[in-house]
């Protein structure tokens, strides 16, 4: 059956560090954050299934043509690499490509997967917080731009009103001057 065993704890810790780095620098950095967060949630679910159901072989196999996974996990840059780093191998089963978890699900492996799941939750929380902060900063920047736009539009309207008022005043002065020049001057008797 599944006889490959996980290596010693020191290399597991190194692998957890590599996985965390890969998730930060590839999954989060090279994919839109909302999509990456959705993919991480699915990855968490896949790992959780291995932990909760270690005796069930169906959780060891992931069909690469699974529509849900293809649309929200496998389309992300670095997602398959992450699964391979975890211990999944690409295989062909019944003329279909699958990812198969290659390690025995003994206590050490389950402890490793649980630790990975905890690290994954921490990374997801950090990324979610970063995303919320980015969203707030973007909203604040939009508000500032809209406020500046409103000020500029008001200044333009004020300038138009001043120009219109000045033009009207100049027209009235010209009409008044024209009328004054055309009126006969009356002299007072001496």
pLDDT at 5: 47
Q: Calculate the average pLDDT of the chain.
A: 87
Q: The domain at 9-140 falls in which architecture?
A: Up-down Bundle (1.20)
For 124, the token pair is 């997801």
Q: Does the pLDDT value for residue 91 go beyond 60? A: yes
Q: Classify residue 106 by its DSSP letter.
A: -
Q: Does the pLDDT value for residue 6 go beyond 80? A: no
When pLDDT is cut at 50, 70 and 90, the band that residue 140 belongs to is: confident
Average pLDDT of span 172-179: 83
Q: Does the pLDDT value for residue 86 go beyond 60? A: yes
Question: Cβ of 38: how many Cβ atoms within 10 Å?
Answer: 16
Distance in Å from the first CA to the final CA of the chain: 135
Q: Does the pLDDT value for residue 89 go beyond 80? A: yes
For 75, the token pair is 């389309």
Domain locations in the chain as residue ranges: 9-140
Nearest to residue 26, comparing CAs of 99, 66, 84?
84
pLDDT at 3: 43
Alpha carbon distance 154, 98 (integer Å): 62
When pLDDT is cut at 50, 70 and 90, the band that residue 167 belongs to is: confident
Q: Classify residue 60 by its DSSP letter.
A: T
pLDDT at 185: 57
E strands of the chain, at which residues? 61-63, 88-93, 96-101
Q: Is the pTM of this model over 0.75?
A: no
Percent of the chain with pLDDT over 70: 91
pLDDT, tens digit, for every residue of 47-70? Answer: 999 999 999 999 999 999 999 999
pLDDT, tens digit, for every residue of 145-162? Answer: 888 888 888 888 888 889
């Amino acid at each position: 059956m599944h006889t490959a065993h996980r290596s010693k704890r020191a290399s597991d810790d190194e692998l957890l560090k590599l996985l965390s780095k890969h998730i930060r620098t590839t999954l989060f950095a090279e994919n839109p954050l909302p999509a990456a967060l959705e993919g991480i949630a699915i990855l968490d679910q896949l790992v959780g299934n291995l932990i909760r159901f270690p005796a069930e072989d169906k959780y060891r196999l992931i069909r690469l043509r699974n529509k849900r996974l293809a649309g929200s996990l496998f389309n992300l840059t670095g997602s398959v690499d992450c699964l391979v780093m975890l211990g999944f191998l690409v295989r062909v089963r019944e003329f279909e490509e699958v990812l198969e978890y290659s390690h025995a699900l003994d206590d050490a492996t389950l402890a490793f997967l649980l630790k990975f799941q905890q690290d994954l939750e921490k990374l997801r929380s950090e990324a979610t917080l970063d995303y919320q902060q980015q969203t707030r900063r973007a909203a604040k920047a939009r508000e500032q731009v809209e406020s500046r736009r409103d000020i500029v539009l008001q200044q333009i309207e004020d300038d138009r009103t001043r120009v219109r008022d000045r033009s009207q005043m100049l027209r009235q002065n010209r009409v008044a001057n024209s009328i004054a020049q055309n009126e006969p001057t009356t002299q007072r008797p001496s």
